[in-house]
Homo-oligomer: A and B are copies of this chain.
Amino acid sequence: MKTHSELGNPVHIAMSLIGGRWKGEILFQLMDHGMLRFAEMQRLIPGISQKMLTRQLRALEHDGLVRRLVYPQVPPKVEYSLTDTGRTLQPVLTALRDWGKDHGAPRVGKILSAENPLSGETPNPE
């Protein structure tokens, strides 16, 4: 019995599946290219390390969003692609990205300038 974490909330469920630093970017690349090898993704996603790419890929695979195809060769060859379920994320991720472009970017790291200058205002309560 868990004292908490009821996890009945769809928003949080989606978040736990596609949230984090890299998952969104990974999914986008797979949407664009359809099929990618490990090294290709690393080239397409600057800044990501092998560890994180592997970990996130494994998580996505575990959650049934990404398919992993291993070719038993030497040198090894692994191809990643979206599952059917993974593809259903496209509108969601697009919505996320569009919002980020419109509203997130200007205010990330640099605070607002002249839109909401007051914080913790003190009105006259009746």
Question: How many copies make up the complex?
Answer: 2
Contact of A108 with B17 in the complex, beta carbons under 8 Å: yes
**CB-CB < 8 A to A115: which residues of B?**
64, 84-85
> In whole angstroms, what is the CA distance A10 to B100 when docked?
4
Contact of A64 with B14 in the complex, beta carbons under 8 Å: no
Q: How many residues from A make CB contacts under 8 Å with B?
A: 66
List residues of A (62-118) whose CB comes within 8 Å of B's CBs: 62-64, 67-73, 77, 83-85, 88-89, 91-93, 95-105, 107-109, 111-112, 115-116
Nearest CB in chain B: distance from A71 CB, A: 4
Interface residues of A (CB under 8 A from B): 4-7, 9-17, 19-22, 24-25, 28, 46-47, 61-64, 67-73, 77, 83-85, 88-89, 91-93, 95-105, 107-109, 111-112, 115-116, 119-123, 125
